[in-house]
Amino acid sequence: IMDAVPGLWSVELPTLKNGASAFKKLKEKYLTKIADILDIDPHEGVLTGAWVGLFHQMLPSAYQKDAFEWVLAKGMPSLIALTVAILEVNTDVLLRVDEMHRGGHLQKNLWNSPLWTQATQGRPATAPQVSRAALNDRVAALLPESARWYKSFAAADATRS
């Protein structure tokens, strides 16, 4: 994984910074309903933790396996596309979360999302409302734009160095 996303875990976090800038562009386009409500800032800890932990607390294990495969195949652009896809399919769930439980509780709200299949808080596992295939299709659709933005920020960063 570290070879697929070099710099994500390094001291200066160059990959994370460029990824955050690319995510902001996609957020403005695809997450307009929830961007202001949740004030999602990738430079803050919520998404940083999700990226470094490869969505450990945001996705059930079967979906995490797909996330690992995306990252191994496509690197940082896939992390950005996955983030947008996860938030996008959970928009209605996140809009229903009261103000007190937004922001810092994003990971918990996503983990407890009824869209996933895991059993939580005494509820039995249910059939997924968003299949792994549907999430993977959305990631694939977002990937070209994610890669384009990420490469443009990485290139700009390289010229500044």
Instruction: Report yes or no on 1 lying in a domain.
Output: no
Instruction: Report yes or no on 106 lying in a domain.
Output: yes
What's the structural domain count of the chain?
1
DSSP letter at 65 equals: H
Instruction: Report yes or no on 5 lying in a domain.
Output: no
Q: Give the C-alpha separation, 118 to 32, whole Å.
A: 28
Q: Give the C-alpha separation, 137 to 85, whole Å.
A: 9
Instruction: Report yes or no on 140 lying in a domain.
Output: yes
Cα–Cα–Cα angle for 45, 51, 52, rounded to 5 degrees: 85
* pTM for this entry: 0.78
CATH code for position 61 = 1.10.472.80
Instruction: Report yes or no on 74 lying in a domain.
Output: yes
User: Which residue range(s) make up the domain with 86?
Assistant: 14-160
Instruction: Report yes or no on 8 lying in a domain.
Output: no
Between the CA of residue 144 and those of 69, 70, 157, what are the distances in Å? 17, 13, 20
Instruction: Report yes or no on 3 lying in a domain.
Output: no
Q: For every one of its 161 residues, what pLDDT tens digit does the chain have, with 9 covering 90 and above?
A: 555 555 554 544 567 778 888 988 998 899 888 876 655 555 555 566 677 677 776 777 778 889 888 888 888 899 899 989 988 888 887 777 665 455 556 666 676 676 665 555 566 665 567 788 888 999 999 999 999 999 998 888 778 76
Instruction: Report yes or no on 148 lying in a domain.
Output: yes
In angstroms, the first-to-last Cα distance of the chain is 25
